[in-house]
A and B are shown apart, each in its own frame.
Chain A
Amino acid sequence: MTSMMTTPLAGYLLVAALLFAIGLGGALVRRNAILVLIGIELMLNAANLNLIAFWRYGPHPEALTGMMFAIFSIAVAAAEAAVGLGLVIAIYRHTNTAELDKIDRMKG
């Protein structure tokens, strides 16, 4: 416990791990497609927190590697959210529902 308290990076990594698990649980447990996308966004954000924390406490912050990775990841996540929510709206228009277990047209 003492060692965890004294290294700030471990604290950030644990918070990110918990946030990732919450996002994963949300994506697996909820029935609504929009909530699944929210869970995926939470997982991406947890990864970003890891990148920034390693950038801050790593040996070469002036190289900006972790920072750049996080910025690009934020931009890609924004594109993913736009396309994902567009798909949800298209599916809703076709099937009149956004509940994932009711969309079973391809079930054999």
Chain B
Amino acid sequence: MLFGCEVCLGFFAKGIDRMNPIFYLLAAVTLAGGLAAVLLKHLVHCALAVTVAFAGLALLFLQLDAQFAGFAQILVYIGAVAILIVFAILLTRGSDLPKDGVFSKTWFLGLIIAAAVFAVIGWAVLASVSAIPQQNTVPSVTVHDIGNALVGRYVLPLEILALLLTAATIGAVIVAMHEKARPR
């Protein structure tokens, strides 16, 4: 106990900031949102819960000094993906509760697989705590720098991404387009 305190004080003296309560709050909100999205019965409630999880993640990005990624997350996920999910739920009558439960017959197997994956990743993280980097200088990256990198070093991925987004938009419209009834 005493040794632990000394270690803490040593880290304080070196100026390493410890996990602050805001991180715990945001992590709890994000994880609770994700858990509710997976467990709730009504699909509309799930969509609301996943929006909460997206918002928590955006705040975590802001907490990590990644303002651009945080605001992109808000715009893309809360602004677009959540709305798409709500549209899909309403178009497929997902708001009616199914008669034979919302979980699949093999839910126990899925639970075991998810727990095993978490155990492996968590073990890997905790086992390599001493090796992971911890720079504590706040990176001074502005939107100007990000824009320059996007049209400079990353211009080819940007063009490919533009092509992909166009193809995906057209593809989504074609896939979901109303087909004419065909004789079977």
B38 touches A92 (CB 8 A): no
Task: Decide yes or no whether A62 CB sits under 8 A from chain B.
Answer: yes
Q: How many A-B residue pairs have CB under 8 A?
A: 266
Q: Report the contact-size class of chain A (Cβ under 8 Å from the partner).
A: 35 or more
Interface centre among B37, B69, B94 (most CB of A within 10 A): B69
A18 touches B118 (CB 8 A): yes
- Considering the chains assembled together, what is the distance between the CA atoms of A26 and B57 in angstroms? 18
Interface centre among B17, B135, B176 (most CB of A within 10 A): B176
CB distance from A102 to the nearest CB of B (A): 9
Task: Decide yes or no whether B151 CB sits under 8 A from chain A.
Answer: no
Q: Is the interface of B mostly helix, strand, loop or mixed?
A: helix
Total count of chain B residues near the partner, CB < 8 A: 92
Q: What are 17 pairs between A and B in contact, CB < 8 Å?
A: A3-B129, A10-B125, A12-B64, A18-B118, A22-B35, A25-B113, A26-B34, A28-B114, A29-B107, A32-B102, A34-B89, A37-B85, A57-B135, A59-B133, A74-B73, A81-B80, A87-B176
Known: A20-B118, A92-B91. 6 other contacts (CB 8 A): A20-B117, A21-B117, A21-B118, A30-B103, A67-B66, A67-B69
